């Protein structure tokens, strides 16, 4: 996880959202204050694990004396029925933290599992899978961590750590060449020691202008396999290329075999289903 991500603040805010001002009224009414609980978090389907260490922080936030035993690591592929961790501690505290911990692990493991499927689909082609900024507000760091656990490489995390000239930038700047030259004039680009200038093109005839103006990488947007292969041939290795737009699990292999350097997939974070994981009394 990124060093600048405040995990403690995330856990505290998530628990505050769930507990409200009155706390877990059900557990307070039904469970004696001194009661203890041992429970096991386990997968109910084949998954790639992500977020187990975050779950441990949730439990520890409400019960500082909790005992947590982790059986797997993030990034591990596990079979149905695999125990991920065991927690032992104050019953009220663990039950109050249960939903927040499970929601997080289910969501992140779902992303990691889907990501691994995409990585496996392009194995041996030489293409690298990238995620995108299509993340839930406030959860980007965690979701991009989950894609890494699935085997992807992170695209830019924020607007300030990558220069990506997209179609709307090009439209406002009055063309690909003008947009790229403006970025170069602003001190961007590898040649100037700045951030690489990545340019989105959706037509073959934009490639020459983008390269001549100083593009360091081309994002080949929404191109079919035939067009993509022609674009890669035209670039001829002068800069890295990235396929993007509408990429699905059943189409990614064909895109990868065109020779592109990268393939970015928004579905990794935008559409991943939650993994089926439970926490049961042991």
Q: Is the pLDDT of residue 8 over 90?
A: yes
Asked if 166 is an active-site residue, the reply is yes
Q: Please say whether the dihedral angle defined by the alpha carbons of residues 89, 50, 73 and 57, taken in this order, is positive or negative.
A: negative
Q: How many CB atoms lie within 10 A of CB 127?
A: 22
Asked if 224 is an active-site residue, the reply is no
Are residues 11 and 50 part of one domain?
A: yes
Closest C-alpha among 51, 108, 110 to residue 85: 51
Q: Is 30 contained in some domain? A: yes
Are residues 11 and 104 part of one domain?
A: yes
Q: Is the pLDDT of residue 33 over 80?
A: yes
Are residues 237 and 201 part of one domain?
A: yes
CATH of the domain at 216: 3.20.20.70
Give me the catalytic one of 200, 217, 242, 267.
200
Are residues 168 and 88 part of one domain?
A: no
Are residues 94 and 182 part of one domain?
A: no
Are residues 208 and 181 part of one domain?
A: yes
Length of the chain: 282
Q: Is 2 contained in some domain? A: no
pLDDT per residue over 98-134, tens digit each? Answer: 999 999 999 999 999 999 999 999 999 999 999 999 9
Number of domains the chain contains: 2
Asked if 144 is an active-site residue, the reply is no
Are residues 115 and 167 part of one domain?
A: no
Q: Is the model more confident about 181 or about 3?
A: 181
Structure tokens given for 239:
């800069």
Q: Is 132 contained in some domain? A: no
Are residues 169 and 113 part of one domain?
A: no
Q: Is 126 contained in some domain? A: no
- What is the pairing mode between strands 83-90 and 67-70? antiparallel
To the nearest 10 degrees (0 to 180), the angle between helices 91-121 and 52-62 is: 170
Q: What is the pTM of this model?
A: 0.95
Q: Is 217 contained in some domain? A: yes
Asked if 200 is an active-site residue, the reply is yes
CATH of the domain at 71: 3.90.1170.20
Q: How far apart are the first and last CA of the chain?
A: 30
Sequence-separated (6 or more) residues with CB below 8 Å from residue 156:
133, 162, 164
Asked if 134 is an active-site residue, the reply is yes
Q: Is the pLDDT of residue 255 over 90?
A: yes
Give the three-class secondary structure for 243: strand
Give me the catalytic one of 134, 156, 181, 229.
134
pLDDT per residue over 35-88, tens digit each? Answer: 999 999 999 999 999 999 999 999 999 999 999 999 999 999 999 999 999 999
Are residues 241 and 277 part of one domain?
A: no
Give me the catalytic one of 44, 166, 203, 248.
166
Q: Is 130 contained in some domain? A: no
Are residues 243 and 277 part of one domain?
A: no
Domain containing 202 equals 162-265
Determine contact, residues 69/131, Cβ cutoff 8 Å: no
Closest C-alpha among 156, 126, 134, 132 to residue 237: 126
Element (H or E) spanning 167, and its range? helix 167-172
Structure tokens given for 146:
């989950």
Instruction: Give CA torsion, residues 89, 52, 266, 237, to 10 deg.
Output: 160
CA separation for the pair 94, 97 (Å, rounded): 5
Q: Is 143 contained in some domain? A: no
């Amino acid at each position: 996880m990124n060093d600048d991500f405040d995990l403690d603040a995330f856990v505290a805010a998530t628990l505050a959202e769930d507990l409200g001002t009155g706390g877990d009224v059900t557990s307070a009414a039904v469970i004696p204050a001194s009661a203890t609980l041992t429970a096991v978090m386990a997968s109910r389907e084949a998954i790639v694990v992500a977020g187990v260490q975050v779950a441990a922080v949730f439990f520890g936030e409400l019960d500082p004396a909790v005992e947590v035993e982790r059986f797997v690591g993030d990034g591990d592929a596990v079979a149905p029925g695999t125990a991920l961790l065991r927690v032992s501690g104050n019953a009220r505290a663990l039950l109050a933290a249960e939903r927040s911990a499970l929601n997080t692990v289910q969501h992140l493991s779902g992303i990691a599992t889907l990501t691994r499927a995409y990585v496996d689909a392009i194995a041996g082609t030489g293409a690298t899978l990238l995620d995108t900024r299509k993340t839930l507000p406030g959860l980007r760091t965690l979701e991009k961590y989950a894609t890494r656990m699935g085997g992807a490489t992170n695209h830019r995390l924020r607007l300030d750590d990558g220069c990506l000239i997209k179609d709307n930038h090009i439209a406002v700047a009055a063309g690909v060449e003008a947009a790229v030259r403006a970025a170069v004039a602003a001190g961007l680009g590898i040649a100037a020691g700045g951030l690489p200038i990545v340019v989105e093109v959706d037509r073959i005839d934009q490639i020459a202008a983008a390269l001549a103006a100083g593009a360091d990488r081309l994002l080949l947007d929404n191109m079919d396999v035939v067009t993509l292969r022609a674009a890669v041939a035209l670039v001829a290795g002068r800069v890295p290329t990235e396929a993007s737009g509408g990429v699905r699990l059943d189409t990614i292999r064909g895109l990868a075999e065109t020779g592109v350097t990268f393939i970015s997939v928004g579905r990794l974070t935008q559409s991943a289903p939650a993994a089926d994981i439970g926490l049961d009394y042991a």
